[in-house]
Amino acid sequence: MRVFKFGGASVKDAEGVQNVVNVLKEVGYQDTLVVISAMGKTTNAMEKVVEAYFNDKNGLPSAIQEVIDYHHGILSDLFQNPKHPIYDKVKVLFEEVKGFLAWNKSPKYGFVYDQVVGYGELFSTTIMSAYLNEVGLSNTWLDVRNLIKTDNNYRDAQINWERTQTEVSARVDMSKLNITQGFLGSDDNNFTTTLGREGSDYTAAILAYCLNAESVTIWKDVPGVLNADPRNFQETTLLDLISYREAIELAFYGASVIHPKTLQPLQRKEIPLHVKSFINPKDKGTTVGKGVGIVPKVPCFIVKKNQVLLKLSTLDFSFIVEDSISEIFKLFHDHRLKVDLIQNSAISFSVCLDNKFNGLNPMLEELKRKFKVVCHEDVSLYTIRHFDDDAVKSLQNGKSVLVEQRGKETVQLVVK
C-alpha cells in the first residue's frame, strides 16, 4: 500500500479538489491511503472560532459562519444538485461544532482547541470522499481518530504506538482507496487530539509505519524539497535525492516542506518519502531515503520568523552553571516554549525560542526574579546547512545580527 498526503493548498477550492482527482487518475489510486488536510486556511479560521469562544462571544456566530460559507462555496462548485446528500453530511458536522461550543464546560484552551479546530479535516475529507465517489473513484472514508491513539496532551499529543498499530491493522482495508484526515488522533476518552500544527505529514508517516507501506508521497505546490523556501528566497535549487539524516536535520531547523516528526517512523522501516508537485505529478520531485553521504551540493537556507531571543545574566555576576540552566529549561518546558538555539558564556545565556503557545510573558515574570533579562521579540532565525562564505554574507547584508553560531556543517544567525 502507498500513502499519499495532500495539504490544504491542494484542496483550497473546487479546482484543487478536481486536481486531486486528476493526480490520482494519473498516478494510480488502487491500494492507496490518502491523508488530507483542512481546506486552504481553514485551520486559521477555526482558530479564530476558538479565540471568539473565549474572548468575543458576540463575534462567535460570524466566525463560524465564515467557515460555513467558505465550504458551501466549494460544495456548490463541486455538486450542482443542492439536494445531494453531501450537503446534509457537512451540515451535521457544523451542527456538532456549534453543539460542542454550546454545552462545553471545560475552561482549558488546549482541550477546546482540539475539539473545534480538528473539524477542518473532517469537513475536507467528507467533501473529498463524496466527490471521489461522484466521479467514479469508489473509496472508503475513515475517521483517523479511530486509528491514531494518543495521550491527552492537547495541541501536541504523543502517539500510543501499540494501540495505534492495533487499530490500524484492524480497520484499514489495504486493497481499497481510503480517505482519512491528517493532524488528528484521540485519547483514552475518545476526545479529539491534535498532533501539532502542520501535523498531517506526521499522520501519513504514522499510518505508513503501521501499514508497512511501500512509500509515502507528500503532494505540494512546489516541485519537491528545495534548498530554500521560494517565498523567502529568489533563487532555489531542487534537491532530487537526500538521506533521512539530512532531511531530519533540515526539518529540525525549520524547513517547512517536511514536518519535523515525519522522518523518524519512516526511517525505522526504511520507507521512502517522495515530495512531489500536485501541479506536475509526473515530475520526479525529491526522494528521501536510506543513503549515507547523500547530502545537498548547495547551501540550504531555512528561516523561522517571529522568534524570541532572550539574553539572561545573573544579578550577582555569578556563573550560569548546571543548576541555573536546569531551572531555566524547566521554565521553558512548563510554559511550552520550544528552544531553537542556545549560546552561553560564564555569566550569560542566550536562547532563541518559538513562542507558539504564547507562554512567553508569564515565563518572563518568573525569570526576572532571578536573572537580568533582555528580550528581543519578532526576530528571525536563519539556518544555513552546508554553508560557505558567500551564503553567510548574503544573509548578513543589511541585517542586524544579534547572535551567530557556527558548526562544521551549519551556521545559525539570529537577526533583527
Which parts are annotated binding residues for ATP?
Answer: 231
| Model confidence pLDDT, tens digit, residues 161-202 | 999 999 999 999 999 999 999 999 999 999 999 998 778 999
- Asked if 146 and 170 touch (Cβ cutoff 8 Å), the reply is no
Mean pLDDT to the nearest integer, 29-52 = 97
The binding site consists of 231
**pLDDT at site 55:** 96
Report residue 203 as a C-alpha cell. Answer: 499522520
| Residue 292, phi then psi, degrees to nearest 5 | -65, 135
Sheet holding 273-277, edge to edge: 140-141, 177-181, 32-36, 2-6, 215-220, 273-277, 286-289, 241-243
Domains, in order of start, for the chain: 2-213 (3.40.1160.10), 300-415 (3.30.2130.10)
pLDDT digits (tens, 9 = 90+) for 297-356: 889 999 999 999 999 988 887 787 788 889 899 999 999 999 999 998 878 889 999 998
Nearest-angstrom CA–CA distance, 154 and 194: 6
pLDDT digits (tens, 9 = 90+) for 266-286: 999 999 999 999 999 999 999
